[in-house]
Amino acid sequence: MKPIAITMGDPAGIGAEIVLKLAAEVRDTVPLVVLGDAGVLARTRDQLKLDITLQEVSSPADAGTAPGVLPVIATSAVGADLPVGVAGAEAGQAAYDAVAAAIGYAMDGQIDAIVTAPLNKESLRLAGLPYPGHTEILAELSGTDDYTMMMASEDLRVVLVTIHEPLKDAIARIDEDSILRVIRLADAALRPSLGARPRIGVAGLNPHAGENGVLGSEEIDTIRPAVDRARAEGFDVSGPFPPDTVFLRARTGGFDVVVAQYHDQGLIPFKYLGLEKGVNVTIGLPFVRTSVDHGTAFDIVGKGIADHRSLRVALDQALLMVGQPAPAES
């Protein structure tokens, strides 16, 4: 098995802490290589009093599996003196550089998957990087045009038609082709693990899914025609359903995945179920990428209380997607 690459995320956030806590659990059972800042990792390791030896390597191929050793590819050198808990250009550039390097290793076949710790959108902006999040970086640097975000947990899976954009722009972008594209992506992503076509429920855009045109016409003009086209292609899909009930129907077994029309429509119900349970999967990429379902948590950096369970779930999901068993809980 090739290493799983973990990007440290924004060095001013909790990324180093959750990466090290995860590594302490699984380092001797899963081949890992961390991409990030060795100085920040060392400082955080000492603060947490973890018995981990950080070993700088030049490539994933050099990452060994010695007990107690965590291989690190130094993609930045902001150093242990970087201010924490605040957005900054240097931190944003460092976070981007780690992701960019991981994408290169994935495209070259040197790693089995990428698992990402959180980056900060303001830090990216301050660094002059025109990306609202990981998803767009991953797509652009891998040359992927057909992609979207899927949030997955034991309780619920959600895929998004539109992702990181203002609500008024997201609504304007919703059309038949974009909905059909996401249905195809969801089917392709889930069919291998489910062993059958996933049952896909499509959310409406308006309250009560438009109430037959009384509360909006998008369901009649756009969403239902997209569902009809998908069904004609053989997909197990239905809708549009009222957004205030479709997620509960999925959670109780009615659907394997819900197609949400915009970011908060899908992520509010998903995250309400618990950040520690969820994982972000970018589907449509030529490699496996999973991520935590939370942000950089600047308010708790350095306190030693960051919860690494979402990163553990992201690692387990990545292993499942590359056909490897997840390690037992410690």
CA dist., res. 210 & res. 317, Å (int): 36
- Residue 252 marked in a binding site: no
Q: Is 271 annotated as a binding residue?
A: yes
- Residue 207: its H or E element: none
Residue 206 annotated as part of some ligand binding site: no
Of 237, 137, 222, 225, nearest to 171 by C-alpha is: 222
For residues 41 and 54, what is the distance between their CA atoms, to the nearest angstrom? 8
CA distance 80 to 59: 23
Cα separation, 185 vs 133, in Å, equals 20
Quote the longest CA-to-CA distance of the chain: 65
Is 308 annotated among the ligand-binding residues? no
Q: What order do you get walking across the sheet with 4-7 strand by strand?
A: 53-56, 69-76, 32-37, 4-7, 113-116, 288-292, 279-283, 148-152, 157-160, 257-260, 200-203, 237-241
Q: Is 289 annotated as a binding residue?
A: yes
Written as one string, the DSSP assignment of 22-90 is HHHHHTTTS-EEEEEEHHHHHHHHHHHT---EEEE-SSGGG----TTEEEEEEEE---TTS--SS--HH
Any binding-site annotation on 53? Answer: no
Backbone region of residue 11 per phi and psi (left: phi > 0; alpha: psi in -120 to 50; beta: other values): alpha
On whether 277 is known to bind a ligand per the annotation, the reply is: no
280 is in an annotated binding site: yes
DSSP code for 301: T
Binding-site residues from annotation for substrate: 134-135, 271, 280, 289
Binding-site residues from annotation for a divalent metal cation: 164, 208, 263
